[in-house]
Structures are given as structure tokens and as C-alpha cells.
Chain A
């Protein structure tokens, strides 16, 4: 898809540089002349939005680290110091904290886009796997970051998550002590989480480079789910077409971001995290941040401790093998009438799991006599659906479904003239 390089150095300096380090050529071929399918819709702007999110988190994070103190004595106070004393500290912290949520909103849209349009299918399996890896790193980074303010949710969230590793047979206990650097979550734990929280975004940046590289080898997918046949008809240059479209999408996204930062900065957080960590008292209701709730619901749905941990990690691990579970040759859900419906059921199941993760497990939803149908029952049904969607529906749908006819080419799918021509011929 990259094709021949079309870069021609304009002046003496760029010719000289191009012979020694063709970095301008790389930028030109990747982000200027790079051919993009002409039928991309706005769901394709989230790659750019995610790059923006990562940059915002790294820049604000580096600045916050100049004021934050990673000790159990001072962490909570230093965050309040950032909020009250540091110039623009409130803004930087609110951007960083809400930036994490924005990052996850964008990544979930990006991932569901991939599921809907079959972006994970050959030849883009490695591209998809790298994306899942980025998602895993993001969750780890967000978890480490959430512990740093050393509020009640920070402390108890860290306790519950690190205790998950204690469920592993034989080595669990030793592994947990090793993670803690002590006999409970404490000073050593906070300090190492801070170190790792600083490291992981750079690992993400590294995998993002591989992700973009893999993208540029196979070329972008597109809503029609068919490959580029004639680059002259089917593609347009990245600049200005994709750059401007991405920029417009980014501006809309930034408005949402700004709403949370300026008008509802704590709307996505937990009030309990403004109480300093107390190892002797657990808050009545522990919940993780919203973006981890579906997995928390799966964890709690299983009555067995190890089983819950295995299913929770399995829910993410299953994404790695998705390219080989889906047996359909057709990529885009546009041409898959059955899959299209199950896609939306799956999306609803994920939102439902998110709801369950945020509620008390024994909350009754439908009263029947003394007991009834509670949150745990609902999470069990949804957990079963989540796994069935991958393990049963993906393989079976591809075999029994009769897909609609695919358009002849990308150009034909978007240009009305060509479509009519085809219809009459």
C-alpha cells in the first residue's frame, strides 16, 4: 500500500539531508502523500484523536511529576498542593485525570469501530494484536496512576487488584508480596507504581509506532471492507483530506474534553478518593474507574476466586485470538445482516456489564417474593454472553450467514455515478 516514494526534496538542504537521514521522506510518505481510502467516515478519525490523548497525558504527566511526592506521608497532601498552590496546577491535574477517561472513551470507540468493520481480519491481524497490547498497557498505566493520589479508592483499588494475583496457585502469595514490597500495600508499592506510571506511557508510544507501521504496511481498512484496487480512483492523499477530517473530529472531541475539565471535572471520579487512604478502614463500596467496570463485573460474577480472576483476564486475552475466531470472509458489518445485529447486542452487553460493575452485587433489580433477580445474576448472564459472542457466534455466524453482495470497488461504493453505471450495465 505504501508503494513507491513520491517525495522530491525541494531544496539543497533537504536533498543533502535526504541522502543522510531520509526522515522528511518518511514523514511525507506516511502523513502527506500517503494514500487513504476515499470512503473513510468519522469513525476513522479516532486514531488521530488517540495520538492526541497520549500526547496530552505525557505532557501534563511530566509536569505533574515535578510537583507530586510519591510517599504515603505526603502523596495526598502533594496532590492538594497541586490543586491549591501550584500555578495552574488545578488545570493540569484536571486535564490529566479527565484525559485518562477521554483516552478510554476514544479507545473504546476505536475498538468497536474495529469490531464493526472487521478491521482485525487478514492481513491486519498483527495490527489488531498490537492495538490490544496498547489497550492492556493503557489499563495498567491508568491503574498505576489512579493509586498515586493516595485516596481511599486509590488504596483499596490497589489492594483489591494486587490481591487478584494472590489467587494464582502456588506462587500467588510470593508474587503478591513481591508486587507490594512489603506485607500490604504501602510506601514501597506507591513508589514503584509512580515509577511504572512514568515508564508505561513511553512503552505505549513505542507500541503505537509499531501499530502505525503495521497500518502502513497493510494500508487502512475502510467502511466497505474491500481492498484498494486502483489507487487513482479508490484513494485520496492523506494531506489534506485525512488531516483535515481528523482535525475536525479532534475539535469536536476537544469540546467534550473541555466540558469535563471545566464544567464537570469530578463527574467521572469517585468522591471517596478525596479521603486520604486509611489501611484500617475499607469504604463501604469499592468501585474501579468507569472504564474498568465491565471487567470488574466479570470478576464478581464468578463465585470462585481464581475462576473470577481467570475469566477477567480471559475477557481481554480473547481479543488477541479474535482474528482466528471469526470465520467470515466479509469484513464490514454493512454486508453482514446477522453479525450487524449481534454487534449491537454485544455492545449492549458490554454497557450492561459496566452498569453491573458499578452497583452493589446484591442489589435486587426485579423483586420476586423475598429475593429476586439481582446484579450478580445479571452479570452472570452478560458474562456468559460476552464469551459466547467470541467463542460461539464469531465462528458460527461466518458459516451460516449469507452476506450481501460487496461493491465492485471503493470508488463504486461512494460515487453515485459509478454505482448507477454498474446497476444499469
Chain B
């Protein structure tokens, strides 16, 4: 009984101390140095609290995000399908655009030369014959014949690429303007005539130009139409340099070709 009274007293004393401490703590909450101490305590304790809460926050966020993800997944699937079908449509449109442009050019050239054009695809262009020749997809069956001019298009210009050298049933071999055995009658922009010769490089030579010719860098060179193989007005290239030969009265010019067959897919054979 006595022990119980002692215990009760102890309990009451402790309670008084605790209540007093509690009250003191509440009262000193607003004192400045306690605030500093509190802030310090918070700074120490808060990260640990956040650390404990971290996994739960993550789970909560994951649950919310997974819901969003599910809807995003189905939306993504639908959009992917739409993109695929749109891509296919775009490809079709691009193809049709290219085809349309090519057909327009064909029409223009046909009207200009009053001749048929045979559109062809470059099917092979070997590195060993880079400046010499390439093969096209049209042959005897399509009406392609030997020495027919092969042309390409740059913007609105029709460019001479070469001529048909060998004809097979379904394909043909084209000799390029840059080939060393290529010859063609040409005309400078001032009307001076000459002969263009391939040189197995992008710079081709124009020879037998009149000594009175006024040649300057950048002058455009076209086919002259003489010789009977190539029609006049086909673009060949621009003058990059000119020279007067020491033991001859003629001048010669170096022409840079504008058209690179390796960048192209389609060419045209000008049917006579």
C-alpha cells in the first residue's frame, strides 16, 4: 500500500515535470533563439523524415503514373499506327511528286525538240567507270538506239550526259560526256564554236575555239547541234579556265560539268 503511494507520488511528480516541460516548450516556441534551434532540429530531422517517406512517395507516384502510362500506352499505340499510315501516304506523295516533275520535264523537252523521250533509270554505275559510262534500264525493246543523246534535268535546264554506246534488249550502256572517247560539237555563250572532249575527270576540254572568241570564267557551254548526233541547246557546263595554245591559233577552254550522274536516278534518252 505504502509502495503504491510512493509510486503514485512519483507518477504525479513526473507528470508535473512533463506538463511543465510541455508548457515551457509551447511558451518558448516563438523565442528567437529557440526558433534557430528548432530550425536546426528540423534541418536534421526533416531529411530523415523525407528519407522514410521516400519509398512510399515513390510507390504512390508509381501507382498514379502507371494509370497515366496505361492511357499513354494505348494513345501511343494509336498514334504510332496513324504515323505509319501517314508515312506511307507521304512516301506515295513524294513518289508521285517526283514522277509528276519527271513527266512534266519529259513533256517540255518533247515539245521543244519535237522528239520522243524515253525515261530510264540508271541501273549501274561502276566505280571503275566513274567518268566513263553507266548503264540504263531501257534497251532495244523500248526503242533505244545507238548514239542517241542521254540527257538529265537540273532545275529547268536540260543537261547533256552522254550518248548511247551499246544497246541490248532490255538495257543500254551510256558513254558519259567526261569519258576520254567522247566528242561533241559545242557552243559558248558568245556564239563561238568548238569541240568538247572528255578527259576522264569532271573538267572537260573544249578545243578548236576561234582565236577571236571572248572566253571568260563562268560562261555557259551548250551543244551547238552541228554533227547531227546532239540537238542544239543542251547544257554542258561552265567555263572554269581558258588557254591559248602556243603552236596553234585556236583557243581551248576547260569546262566544269554541272551534272553528277551519281546523284541522279532518272535520265532520258532523246529518240531521234
Answer yes or no: do A and B interact.
no
Listed in ascending order, the chain A residues whose CB lies under 8 Å from chain B are none
Listed in ascending order, the chain B residues whose CB lies under 8 Å from chain A are none
